[in-house]
Amino acid sequence: MGALHDGHLKLVKNAKANTDFVVVSIFVNPTQFNNPADLEKYPRTIEQDVKLLGEAGVDMVFLPAVGEMYPEPTKLTFDFGALERVLEGAFRPGHFNGVGVIVSKLFHIVQPDKAFFGQKDLQQVAIIRRMVDDLSFGVEVVVVPTSRELDGLAMSSRNGRLTAVDRKRALILFDSLTLARKELLAGKSWFEVQKKISHKFNLEQGVELEYFELVRTKSLETVSAIDISQQAEPQEYSICTAAYVGEVRLIDNLSI
C-alpha cells in the first residue's frame, strides 16, 4: 500500500534474487479499512516510492486508481472461517474480505509466478495462502522474515505517524514479545506470561493493548500452552500482538 520502507525493499531484493522480472503494485485499498479516519490518514508517498523502486531495480510498477480496481462495488465476499475471526479479524471486521478481494484482483491482473509477503502481517499471509490453495491460484506465496529497526521495532508504514515520544513507547511491543518467548521457553505457563505482559502494558502511559495471543503459526488457532518437545515443528507457534501507541495502531509477532 505504498509509503515504502526498508522492509518493502527487502521483499523486492528477495524477488529479484529469485525471479527474472519483478512487478510491484501500490494501491491503498479502501475495502480493507473499517475505519474511514485510518484510510484518510494512511501515508501516501507515491513519488518517493517510485524513486526507491527504480533505484532497487524493479522492472514495473503498477499504480491503479480506485476507479480502475473498483469500477463498481464488489458484490462477492470472502469468508475465511475461523482464520479471519481471531486476532486482527476480531478487531477489524471485514478487513480480510477486503484483502482477499484486492489480492485476488492483483493476482489475476499481474499473473505472478511468485508473490512475496512480509511475516509481520502473519494473519494476512495465512489468509492469502488459504485463498491461493482453495481457489487454485497458480502462484507460489513466499514469506520474508520481518524487517526491524536497530532497536527491534518492526518496520511499518505507520511508524512515520508516531511522535518522537510515541516512537520510544512503541518498543513495548517487541520487548513484550521477546520477554514472553523467553518466559515460555523457560517453562512458564501462558497464563502467567500473558498476565505479566498485560501488567507491563498497563504501566505504560499512552499505550493501549488490544490483544496478546499465543497461536499456531499456520492455522492461527489460539492455544494456552506450547509443546517444546522434539516433536514440535520449527516455528510451530507464534506470539501475536496489536496495540495503539498514541493514535497509531501497530501489530507485531514473533515465532517460537
Spell out the residues 6+ positions from residue 240 whose beta carbon is closer than 8 angstroms to its own: 87, 122, 123, 211, 212, 213, 215, 220, 251, 252, 253
Instruction: Render pLDDT for 152-177 as a digit per residue (tens, 0 to 9).
Output: 999 999 999 999 999 999 999 999 99
In this structure, is residue 63 part of a structural domain?
yes
Are 198 and 129 found together in one domain?
Answer: no
Strand-by-strand arrangement of the 237-245 sheet:
207-216, 237-245, 248-255
Cα–Cα–Cα angle for 9, 86, 142, rounded to 5 degrees: 30
Contact present, 98 and 29 (Cβ < 8 Å)? yes
Range of the domain at 96: 6-144
Contact present, 123 and 87 (Cβ < 8 Å)? yes
Instruction: Render pLDDT for 25-76 as a digit per residue (tens, 0 to 9).
Output: 999 999 998 888 888 988 899 999 999 999 999 999 999 999 999 999 999 9
Which residue among the candidates 8, 95, 108, 199 is catalytic per the annotation?
8
Q: Is residue 95 among the annotated active site residues? A: no
Residue 119 has pLDDT above 60, yes or no: yes
Domain count across the chain: 2
Separation between Cα atoms, residue 67 and residue 132, nearest integer Å: 25
DSSP 166-206: HHHHTHHHHHHHHHHHHHHHTT--HHHHHHHHHHHHHTSTT
Separation between Cα atoms, residue 251 and residue 15, nearest integer Å: 24
The last residue of one of the domains, among 90, 123, 144, is 144
Which secondary structure element, helix H or strand E, spans residue 123, and what is its range? helix 122-134
252 is in an annotated binding site: no
69 CA to centre of own chain? 22
The last residue of one of the domains, among 144, 168, 184, is 144
Q: Pick from 88, 78, 76, 8: which is nearest to 45 by CA? A: 8
Q: How does strand 140-144 pair with strand 114-118?
A: parallel
6-24 mean pLDDT: 97
In this structure, is residue 151 part of a structural domain?
no
Instruction: Render pLDDT for 184-228 as a digit per residue (tens, 0 to 9).
Output: 999 999 999 999 999 999 999 999 999 999 999 989 999 999 876
Cell output for 28: 491503498
189 is in an annotated binding site: no
Are 10 and 86 found together in one domain?
Answer: yes
Are 112 and 138 found together in one domain?
Answer: yes
8 is in an annotated binding site: yes
157 is in an annotated binding site: yes
Domain of residue 209, CATH code: 3.30.1300.10
Cell output for 14: 528477495
120 is in an annotated binding site: yes
Are 166 and 212 found together in one domain?
Answer: yes
Q: Please state, in angstroms and as integers, the Cα–Cα distance from residue 127 to each residue in 141, 178, 250, following that order.
A: 11, 25, 19
